Structure 1
Amino acid sequence: MAGLSPSSSAADIVAHLESVGSEQTLTSMRRVGIRVDKAFGLANPALQGLAKQVGRDQGRALALWRTAIREARVLAIYTAEPRRFTAEEAIAWANDFDSWEIVDMAADLYVEVGLDTLVTEFAEDEREFVRRTAFAMIAGMAVHRKTEPDTTFLALLPLIERHSTDDRNYVRKSVNWALRNIGKRSLGCHGPAVALASKLAASSDKTARWIGRDASAELTSDKTLQRLHRKA
């Protein structure tokens, strides 16, 4: 990371990324389904360290994103400025989503920025990774929005039910993730989430059944119930 600083340009950063990439890391990323056709091979902990070194800069983050290089896009997410990041920019980035990894990290940024109004818009989008973004955002909100009223999350259960029959791998897993995280949030959310999980588990649709059964198993486990009662 020598030579990089808050004044480094997007081009400087990309040149550095290319110089320190690792074929071994690329192999490891392939094993977990991360796209590597436009990647140099740097693990996220290294990128997090680099992000701290160069600091936040919205204009540079947008330039890094435009390179379409995997590591540059991860750094774009890490170094974007939440107070300057707009809904229009979030939508533009979503139009480029082609990897579950990038989706899930960007969803965390969108939650931090407070782009909640995009959840429904993304959920109704037919593209697999854009739809996943909606449910990754819900999953993140359920964990990180500690003071948000339970009603916010209960109001999202119909959206989860509506898309529970989408059998595409990255969608169904994110719908399941969102349902589980809502149910684990509080006792007030737990009952309605379990009720929906039970309803889905009895569905005639294979994908909805899988989502419901998997969510029910976690939400009704002793571990989850004990944790919720400790929090109450």
Structure 2
Amino acid sequence: MTLSPASTASEIIEHLRTLGSEENVAGMARFGIVTQTALGLSNVELRRIARHVRVDHSRVMELWQSDIREARLLAAFTASPSALTLEEAREWAGDCNSWELADTVADLFVAARFERTLIPEFAADEREFVRRIAFAMIATAAVHLKKEPDSLLLSWLPLIEAHAGDERNFVKKAVNWALRQIGKRSSACHGPAVMLAEKLTASDRGAARWIGKDALRELQSDRVRSRLGAQA
């Protein structure tokens, strides 16, 4: 089957099934990817398919609601950020059951400019992958929202501190990722991020200590300091 921008969600899903690989599914499990509904296509393959079918928001909900890993990723790759609604974003976030999906939709939600609404909302949510999305969005925003003032990123440091004690692995790693990305954004962000990392290293919570020490290792490296110094 040859896919095109006119392909329906059903046609795309049928095509994905023809490309499935049980061997690839087994390999994905080793990277912590949830494989119960996986067909075994790599992200490289899915990005190639996304280029063929192009952005079409009219079919993305059907792709997402299929519950198939690859169809959901393709939905995120081909959704229109300007057409995505907050309610759709909340629905997708609640459906996420892996770090891979969480990080992929986080990119989309930032592109849709939902960060000011969804980051605090999702950070307060007790569901593991919804909370991960909040901090993945911070990490993405720190890198891609270059025109936003540093004060926006710094306003999220209290969220990082508040949830640094979450011991769940996928949350802990996302909180760490967010702190490191803020600290690397600019010289103005570096100092406050380092101060928070130092504070976390003295915490009586294991997750917070790990986040602080790991963030300091990168933020105080010669490479990061040299790059930020060159920006000054």
Alpha-carbon distance in 2 for matches of 1:201, 1:82: 38
State the partner residue of 1:24: 23
What is the Cα-based RMSD across aligned positions, in Å?
Answer: 0.8
Alpha-carbon distance in 1 for matches of 2:100, 2:7: 25
What runs of 5+ residues in structure 1 fail to find an aligned partner? Answer: none
Alpha-carbon distance in 2 for matches of 1:147, 1:14: 38
State the partner residue of 1:168: 168
Alpha-carbon distance in 1 for matches of 2:21, 2:230: 45
State the partner residue of 1:197: 197
Alpha-carbon distance, 1:85 to partner: 0.5
Alignment of structure 1 residues 8-19 onto 2, 5 Å: 8-19=7-18
Amino acid in the other structure paired with 2:157 = L
Task: Please list every run of at least 4 consecutive aligned residues from structure 1 whose deviation after the TM superposition is greater than 6 angstroms.
Answer: none
Alpha-carbon distance in 2 for matches of 1:208, 1:82: 34
Alpha-carbon distance in 1 for matches of 2:182, 2:27: 31
SS in 1 for 2:95: coil
Alpha-carbon distance, 1:126 to partner: 0.2
Alpha-carbon distance, 1:71 to partner: 0.2
Name the TM-score, length of structure 2 as normaliser: 0.98
Percent same amino acid at aligned positions? 55
Matched residue count: 231
State the partner residue of 1:177: 177
Alignment of structure 1 residues 52-91 onto 2, 5 Å: 52-91=51-90
State the partner residue of 1:33: 32
State the partner residue of 2:126: 126
Amino acid in the other structure paired with 1:54 = V
State the partner residue of 2:215: 215
Deviations 1:74-118 (A, max 9, x none): 000001011111111000111101010000010000010100111
Alpha-carbon distance in 2 for matches of 1:65, 1:83: 18
State the partner residue of 2:230: 230
Deviations 1:21-67 (A, max 9, x none): 11222122111011111011100011001011011111201110000
Range 53-62 or range 135-144, more displaced: 53-62
Alpha-carbon distance in 2 for matches of 1:58, 1:8: 12
SS in 1 for 2:96: coil
SS in 2 for 1:95: helix
Alpha-carbon distance in 2 for matches of 1:21, 1:75: 14
State the partner residue of 2:113: 114
Alpha-carbon distance in 1 for matches of 2:205, 2:41: 40
Amino acid in the other structure paired with 1:22 = S
Name the TM-score, length of structure 1 as normaliser: 0.98
What runs of 5+ residues in structure 2 fail to find an aligned partner? Answer: none
